[in-house]
């Protein structure tokens, strides 16, 4: 039986952890090093750090906090936001990250995925997809922190990215982001059925059942959340206990 990972996500803006709703109404939360250390000690399996305004501001990932976080914790770190070149991948990995997440730049230049996978290994290359349901009933890919719609279909894009060498995909539902009504299970399931790499569900977790549903219905490999962890609504040890009691191996 496959094992499921619990992954807190730290969205970073100006060196601080922040959180919004549907990618808007951003509020300050905490210091990234302090919060990452707390999650590591609480039993998180991995930490994701996103520099959420790097792409829209057309700048490189701010890495001041990554080194500090890496020195304080002993679980894997995935870093994204503003990644646009092989040099960016190398720099982030050298600064303590275990994986690099790419989004906007990969849409602009899909072969960045292939180049990075060949240079560093597929296991280091994570594609992050920000998706929103469209009028046709499928999901469109958005870039620049959810600000710009593209012509790409989310499921088709996931398939192509894996063919190019992406070793993991974070699927983030813009519709459900921060809403706490549950992950977009239909979207997660459709992508999971089409690719062979791990899928991380993101956007919408609000209660224990939402995490369980994502594993049981959509068969995701990782459960990413922010608000419920940041504001103490769900504690990671309690969530792990609940999932284990419901037959999920962590």
69: tokens are 């976080």
Which residue from 162, 151, 248 is spatially nearest to 199, judged by alpha carbons? 162
CB 202 within 8 Å of CB 182 = no
Which residue from 230, 224, 247 is spatially nearest to 6, judged by alpha carbons? 224
Active site annotation includes 28: no
* Residues 6 or more apart in contact with residue 211 via CB below 8 angstroms: 205, 223, 225, 239, 242, 243
Q: How far apart are CA 202 and CA 97, in angstroms?
A: 20
Question: Which residue positions in the chain have pLDDT lower than 70?
Answer: 1, 21-25, 54-56, 60-63
Helices (H), the chain: 32-42, 64-72, 86-94, 104-108, 111-120, 154-164, 185-194, 208-216, 227-230, 236-245
Q: What is the pLDDT of residues 140-151, one digit of tens each?
A: 999 987 889 999
66: tokens are 């990554």
CB 96 within 8 Å of CB 69 = yes
Catalytic, out of 11, 51, 88, 184: 11
DSSP 76: -
Distances in Å between the alpha carbon of 89 and those of 46, 55, 97, 171, 249?
18, 15, 9, 20, 32
Q: What is the structure's pLDDT at 29?
A: 79
Q: How far apart are CA 243 and CA 222, in angstroms?
A: 12
Spelled out in words, what is the top-level CATH class assigned to the domain 5-245? alpha beta
Catalytic, out of 45, 130, 177, 221: 130
Q: How far apart are CA 46 and CA 50, in angstroms?
A: 13
Q: What is the structure's pLDDT at 52?
A: 73
Q: What is the structure's pLDDT at 54?
A: 67
Domain boundaries, the chain: 5-245
* Residues 6 or more apart in contact with residue 193 via CB below 8 angstroms: none
Active site annotation includes 221: no
Q: What is the structure's pLDDT at 211?
A: 98
Q: What is the structure's pLDDT at 18?
A: 86
* Residues 6 or more apart in contact with residue 114 via CB below 8 angstroms: 164, 165
Q: What is the pLDDT of residues 28-50, one digit of tens each?
A: 778 899 999 999 999 999 999 98
């Amino acid at each position: 039986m496959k094992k499921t990972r619990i992954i807190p996500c730290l969205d970073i803006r100006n060196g601080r952890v922040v959180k919004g709703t549907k990618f808007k109404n951003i509020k300050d939360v905490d210091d990234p090093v302090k919060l990452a250390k707390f999650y590591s000690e609480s039993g998180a399996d991995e930490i994701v750090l996103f520099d959420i305004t790097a792409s829209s501001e057309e700048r490189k990932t701010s890495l001041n906090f990554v080194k500090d976080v890496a020195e304080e914790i002993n679980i894997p770190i995935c870093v994204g936001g503003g990644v646009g070149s092989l040099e960016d991948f190398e720099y982030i990995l050298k600064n303590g990250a275990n994986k690099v997440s790419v989004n906007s730049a990969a849409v602009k230049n899909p072969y960045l995925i292939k180049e990075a996978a060949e240079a560093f290994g597929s296991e280091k290359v994570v594609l992050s997809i920000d998706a929103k349901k469209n009028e046709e009933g499928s999901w469109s890919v958005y870039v620049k922190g959810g600000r710009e719609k593209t012509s790409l279909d989310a499921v088709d894009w996931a398939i192509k990215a894996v063919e190019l060498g992406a070793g993991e995909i974070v699927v983030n539902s813009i519709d459900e982001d921060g809403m706490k009504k549950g992950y977009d299970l239909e979207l997660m399931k459709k992508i999971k059925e089409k690719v062979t790499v791990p899928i991380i569900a993101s956007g919408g977790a609000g209660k224990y059942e939402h995490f369980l549903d994502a594993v049981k219905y959509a068969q995701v490999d990782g459960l990413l959340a922010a608000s419920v962890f940041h504001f103490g609504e769900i504690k990671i040890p309690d969530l792990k206990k609940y999932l284990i009691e419901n037959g999920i191996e962590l």
